[in-house]
């Protein structure tokens, strides 16, 4: 399934990405950020229901000057104590960075506004990865309605969340390493949609379902991980 998932990403199609049984045990929608359209935001908020975020490569985050949210919070004495461990990943910090809206949006929350913001993030990531000039602050305002996730500097070597899995898949697929993701939640239980139910959804919708273990194995076998 990994080859089919990588090809779907190249073609700008949505896939389903499950992490690990011993981690979040969650399935996310995933699509390359430069291919996101308003209808994809609609699908994510209606069929997924989780948080719509865009995961980016750590080198790009550094070039664009995008910090980890935890680092910013530690600068403020009154709330620095709020920075704590992630229950499902106590060895690593949260991947959240800034929340942004593109300056051409109105409220920032509509399907069209979020798609515009996400596409613009992808443009900035592409430029930063290719040595081009970037000016993130001139393009965006914060706080906004699109969460940017900054992948760990060592990607899947140290942290194996949806952020790192999706960025690693982008690298393997040879596309801009900016992937928009959103968790699938269960309307009945209020919990994350179970893996069997997510697989059933994938079959109904004709989507590729891929597991983190397959991504990790392919990543560890690939020369891309050394770049």
SS3 at position 225:
helix
- Choosing from 26, 28, 152, 211, which is the catalytic residue? 28
Q: Which residues contact 152 (CB under 8 A, 6 or more apart)?
A: 58, 92, 95, 158, 159, 163, 164
Question: Is 88 noted as a catalytic residue in this protein?
Answer: yes
Compute φ and ψ for 185, nearest 5 degrees: -110, 160
Question: Is 40 noted as a catalytic residue in this protein?
Answer: no
CA 162-166-172 angle, 5° bins = 145
The region, left, alpha or beta by phi > 0 then psi within -120 to 50, assigned to residue 62 is: alpha
> To the nearest 10°, the Cα dihedral for 99, 102, 108, 111?
-110
Question: Is 183 noted as a catalytic residue in this protein?
Answer: yes
- Choosing from 18, 19, 24, 53, which is the catalytic residue? 53
Separation CA 132–CA 76 (nearest Å): 34
Question: Is 102 noted as a catalytic residue in this protein?
Answer: no
- Choosing from 85, 88, 135, 220, which is the catalytic residue? 88
Question: Is 186 noted as a catalytic residue in this protein?
Answer: no
- Choosing from 24, 34, 101, 152, which is the catalytic residue? 101
**CA within 13 Å, CB half, 167:** 34
- Just list the catalytic residues: 28, 53, 88, 101, 145, 183
């Amino acid at each position: 399934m990994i080859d089919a998932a990588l090809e779907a990403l190249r073609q700008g199609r949505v896939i389903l990405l499950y992490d690990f049984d011993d981690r979040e045990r969650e399935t996310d929608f995933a699509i390359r950020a430069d291919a996101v359209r308003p209808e994809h935001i609609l699908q994510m908020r209606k069929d997924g229901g989780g948080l719509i975020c865009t995961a980016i490569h750590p080198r790009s985050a550094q070039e664009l000057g995008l910090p980890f949210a935890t680092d910013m919070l530690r600068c403020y004495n009154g709330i620095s104590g709020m920075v704590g461990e992630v229950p499902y990943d106590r060895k690593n910090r949260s991947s959240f960075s800034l929340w942004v809206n593109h300056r051409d949006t109105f409220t920032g929350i509509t399907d069209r506004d979020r798609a515009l913001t996400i596409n613009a993030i992808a443009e900035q990531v592409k430029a930063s990865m290719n040595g081009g000039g970037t000016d993130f602050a001139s393009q965006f305002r914060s706080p906004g309605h699109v969460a940017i996730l900054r992948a760990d500097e060592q990607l899947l070597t140290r942290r194996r969340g949806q952020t790192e899995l999706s960025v690693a898949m982008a690298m393997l697929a040879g596309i801009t390493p900016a992937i928009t993701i959103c968790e699938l939640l269960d309307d009945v239980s209020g919990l994350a949609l179970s893996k069997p139910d997510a697989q059933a959804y994938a079959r109904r919708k004709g989507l590729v379902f891929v597991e983190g273990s397959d991504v990790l194995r392919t990543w560890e076998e690939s020369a891309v991980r050394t770049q």
